[in-house]
Homo-oligomer: A and B are copies of this chain.
Amino acid sequence: MALEFKLLAEDDLARLGKINTSHGCIDTPAFMPVGTYGAVKTLSPKALMDLDAQIILSNTYHLMERPGIEIIKKHDGLHGFMSWERPILTDSGGYQVFSLAKNRSISEEGVTFNSPLNGDSIFLSPESCMQLQSDFGVDIAMALDECTPFPIKKTEAKESMLLSMRWAQRCRDNFKSETSGLFGIMQGGMFEDLREESLEKLIEMEFEGYAIGGLSVGESSEEMLEIVNFVSLKMPKKSPRYLMGVGTPLDILNCVQKGIDMFDCVIPTRHARNGYLYTSEGTVKLRNSKNRDSTDPLDPNCCCYTCSNFSKSYLFHLDKTREVLGSTLNTIHNVYFYLNLMKQIRDSIKQNKFKAFVDKCRDTWDNSNYPHIEK
């Protein structure tokens, strides 16, 4: 069985679902911790299992550069390489090619670029991108797309979107897996008609899921939400809907409310390493000197390993002395917070109380005191 999505309940537009994969199931709405290089930063697979992460995301672009596909194939795929037994989704590398690569040259055929690591010339086409993700053996592969910057002129956005759709078709034609599903990625910038056109083309190609790409690239949360609001109403009900690269806890709540099922973001892991911690009482900036001698946990209502065992003072001290353990303990907390948030979201949808849950969260969290996240 490649991939099976069951819609279990709806609460207004919010959806409760389950994705069955050959590596186990994913309860949706789901958040995927990011493991760029085949490792969620600071967390072992055991730690991720303790946190009950059901799926992680990894990056085709980064893995293609290091360790390279041959080494992953020697381990019978990414699951074996990183010793992670649950589902994996890989992004296609499109975003990274357009944000990281040097001397990028794009053609109908694909994209040629120089590796920022060693300068090697690399060619990535829809076909080679599918081959890579197939060799990774991931549960969910993503189509190769061109990711446009923000802001962008409509003519350019349209041309790029149409190229991405032709690439999507070639991905669909070339992705042959008995055990994995392929998601198409919608583009079209901030233009509703382009987004609609993109989605219609993807639906015709019959993907196992549909992603919203090209958001979280510099636009405001409000602009992002407008597009999500517009497209989610038109996305197929019977397939998982994935909003790529989003976001803060409040972004996630807002987008679940629009009917989104899947999210990924570096926020919880990266913020953790920089001492920004999410709690049920708002955000904690660990490096604030008031935490130096606080014997309280980060969050008195949190049951994670970190909050069950350590004070803010100890975490402050680990940060101050640059002990790696601090990054690990902070990451455990933030990932727990995100995964626990998703669990609470699912519970509230199940009970038809999602709106009340959102209102309660909005009252507590201050979404504005976080620095902008560069992906």
Q: How far does the alpha carbon of A325 sit from the alpha carbon of B325 in the complex, in Å? A: 10
Give which listed residue, B44, B66, B318, B329, contacts A325 with CB less than 8 A: B44
CB distance from A136 to the nearest CB of B (A): 14
Do A83 and B325 form a contact, CB below 8 Å, given A74-B295, A317-B66, A320-B66? no
**Which of A154-162, A239-247, A253-261, A303-311 lies at the interface with chain B?**
A303-311
Q: List 23 A-B contacts (CB under 8 A).
A: A37-B317, A37-B323, A38-B314, A39-B323, A39-B325, A40-B325, A41-B324, A41-B325, A42-B328, A44-B328, A44-B329, A45-B309, A46-B305, A66-B320, A67-B292, A67-B316, A71-B313, A74-B295, A75-B295, A75-B313, A81-B317, A324-B324, A324-B328
Question: How far, in angstroms, from A100 to B71 measured CA to CA in the complex?
Answer: 44
Contact B41–A323 (Cβ < 8 Å): yes
Cβ contacts under 8 Å, A323 to chain B: 37, 39, 41
A81 and B314 within 8 A (CB):
yes
Known: A66-B317, A83-B314, A317-B38. A325 touches B71 (CB 8 A): no
- What residues of B have a CB within 8 angstroms of the CB of A293 in the complex? 70-71, 74
A236 to B70, CA, bound (A): 60
Can you list, as one digit per residue, whether each of A71-97 has a CB less than 8 Å from chain B (1) or not (0)? 100110000011100000000000000
A328 proximity list for chain B (CB < 8 A): 42, 44, 324, 328
Nearest B residue to A273 via CB reads: B324
Is the interface on chain A under 10, 10 to 19, 20 to 34, or 35 or more residues? 35 or more
Write the residues of chain A forming the contact surface with B, with a CB cutoff of 8 angstroms: 37-46, 66-67, 70-71, 74-75, 81-83, 292-293, 295, 305, 309-311, 313-314, 316-318, 320-321, 323-329
CB distance from A82 to the nearest CB of B (A): 7
Ranked 6 nearest A-B pairs via Cβ: A83-B309, A67-B317, A37-B321, A39-B325, A39-B323, A42-B324
A321 touches B66 (CB 8 A): yes
- Nearest chain B CB to A34 CB, angstrom units: 12
* A43 and B328 alpha carbons, distance in the complex (Å): 9
Closest-CB distance, A205 to chain B (whole angstroms): 34
Q: A39 — which chain B residues lie within 8 A by C-beta? A: 318, 321, 323, 325-326
Q: Distance (Å) between the CB of A178 and the closest chain B CB?
A: 24
Nearest-CB distance from A245 to chain B (Å)?
21
Chain B residues with Cβ under 8 A from A292's Cβ?
A: 67, 71
Please give, as numbers and ranges, the residues of chain B lying within 8 Å of A75 by CB-CB distance. 295, 311, 313-314
Chain B min CB distance to A327 (Å): 6
Do residues B37 and A305 form an inter-chain contact, with CB atoms below 8 A? Answer: no
B40, B82, B311, B313: the one within 8 Å of A314 (CB) = B82
